[in-house]
Amino acid sequence: LWLWPQIVNDDATAAGPSTSTSTVVVPAVPGPAPAQGGAGPAPATGETIPSYSTRCASVFTSSTLSSSAVGSSATSCEFAEEVRASYLRQLVRGAVVSINAYSPVTGRSYTMTCSGNTVVTCTGGNDAVVYLY
């Protein structure tokens, strides 16, 4: 039989239940990457493109989703802009949609699945990731 001594502070237990407060420090999340090639600003809402993405230069103007960014090394800015053009040609917003986009780099068309509101994320093709904002 093993007995472990227990030290009791009678003054602390006599005062009644106690509470303790813990503070959790969460490191700040870095903001979006600096613009490259004249890309537009990040969205003003809580939705943002990931910090690891690479912003692309806009090759055409649009009043909505005026910029694109690539989120994988398998994606080119030329293709991201084609995805943006294809997405804007279809009329559905805020729902999951499939689009076809042509890649000027590979010379092929790819099916991309897109969803989102302020930031639209499109994935598909050969591991392509495109953000429209």
| pLDDT values of the chain reduced to their tens digit, one per residue, 133 residues | 545 444 444 444 444 444 333 333 333 333 333 333 333 333 334 578 999 999 999 999 999 999 999 999 999 999 999 999 999 999 999 999 999 999 999 999 999 999 999 999 999 999 999 999 9
The pLDDT of residue 47: 76
Check if the beta carbon of residue 39 is closer than 8 Å to that of residue 60.
Answer: no
This prediction has a pTM of 0.66
pLDDT at 19: 37
pLDDT given at position 120: 97
Distance CA 25, CA 27 (A): 6
Burial of 47 (0-12, 13-18, 19+ CB in 10 A): middle
The pLDDT assigned to 29 comes to 34
Compute CA distances 124 → 97, 112, 114, whole Å.
12, 4, 9
Question: What is the reported pLDDT for 40?
Answer: 38
**In whole angstroms, what is the distance from residue 41 CA to residue 133 CA?**
9
